[in-house]
């Protein structure tokens, strides 16, 4: 009987994360302390945008297919439920930083964020019905990689707990979620093809998230240069001269 090798997933994950973290100008800027609250707000906005869709595309996996094992369908809806409203935490963190956002429906995601969203619906709607587990596998275990970044960010910007609730809440919830994801992969990854499909989605969705970071940083440079018109609500004083 086929048994998915989670260690192999972990190794691939490590190499993709290292590639992203070492090349990300956003991450480098954070470690240099070369950041300001406006950048954090910009990042949290993108987090808001893609997080809002996670409930939907997760449940979509359970909707589209009449032949899924009941336990996997049940996981899809349970996990979807547990993600409901998480996007609101991102908005609250922004509000607690005393930024006043315009009506959120008027804020569009950056292109790279929209591409990530598009991809997550695509792999949820068609293809191997268990492939979305590849996304959850890295997303629910990302704190291993991003905690140092958030800590640095937090100390440089002197963020309080109620300005970091999204990350704090997730780092505890996600531990439980990650175990469920691993359990689902071990239970329903029946073949080498299944494993490849999960791996592919894991890698691709993580890389697209890396591109989202790049897009945030690129737009941030434009903000600093006064060339972006996307964030009229970022007051002058929130941006270093």
Q: In the complex, which residues of this chain contact a second copy (CB under 8 A)?
A: 52-53, 55-56, 59-60, 62-64, 66, 70, 73-74, 77-78, 80-81, 84-85, 111, 114-115, 117-119, 121-123, 200, 203-204, 207-208
Alpha carbon 219 to chain centroid, angstroms: 18
Residue whose CB is less far from a second copy, 1 or 106: 106
Q: What's the min distance (Å) between Cβ of 109 and a second copy?
A: 10
Alpha carbon 68 to chain centroid, angstroms: 26
Judged by DSSP in three states, 239 sits in coil
- 219/42 Cα distance (integer angstroms): 9
Q: What's the min distance (Å) between Cβ of 184 and a second copy?
A: 15
Residue whose CB is less far from a second copy, 118 or 186: 118
Residue whose CB is less far from a second copy, 37 or 170: 170
Residue whose CB is less far from a second copy, 230 or 239: 230
Place of tokens 């591109």: 211
- 87/46 Cα distance (integer angstroms): 10
Q: What's the min distance (Å) between Cβ of 73 and a second copy?
A: 6
- 119/140 Cα distance (integer angstroms): 18
Place of tokens 């068609």: 126
Q: What's the min distance (Å) between Cβ of 156 and a second copy?
A: 31
């Amino acid at each position: 009987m086929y048994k998915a090798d989670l260690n192999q997933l972990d190794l691939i994950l490590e190499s993709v994360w290292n590639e992203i973290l070492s090349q990300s100008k956003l991450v480098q800027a954070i470690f240099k302390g070369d950041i300001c609250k406006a950048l954090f707000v910009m990042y949290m906005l993108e987090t808001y945008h893609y997080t809002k869709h996670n409930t939907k595309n997760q449940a979509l996996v359970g909707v589209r297919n009449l032949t899924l094992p009941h336990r996997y369908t049940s996981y899809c809806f349970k996990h979807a439920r547990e993600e409901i409203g998480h996007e609101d935490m991102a908005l609250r963190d922004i509000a607690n930083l005393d930024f006043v956002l315009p009506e959120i429906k008027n804020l569009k995601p950056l292109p790279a964020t929209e591409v990530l969203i598009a991809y997550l619906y695509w792999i949820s709607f068609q293809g191997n019905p268990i492939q979305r587990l590849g996304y959850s596998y890295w997303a629910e275990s990302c704190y291993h990689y991003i905690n140092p970044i958030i800590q640095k960010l937090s100390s440089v910007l002197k963020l309080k707990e109620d300005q970091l609730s999204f990350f704090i809440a997730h780092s505890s919830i996600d531990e439980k979620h990650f175990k469920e994801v691993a359990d689902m992969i071990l239970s329903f990854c029946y073949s080498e093809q299944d494993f490849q499909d999960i791996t592919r989605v894991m890698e691709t969705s993580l890389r697209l998230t890396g591109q989202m970071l790049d897009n945030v940083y690129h737009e941030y440079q434009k903000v600093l240069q006064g060339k972006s018109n996307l964030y009229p609500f970022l007051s002058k004083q929130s941006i270093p001269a």
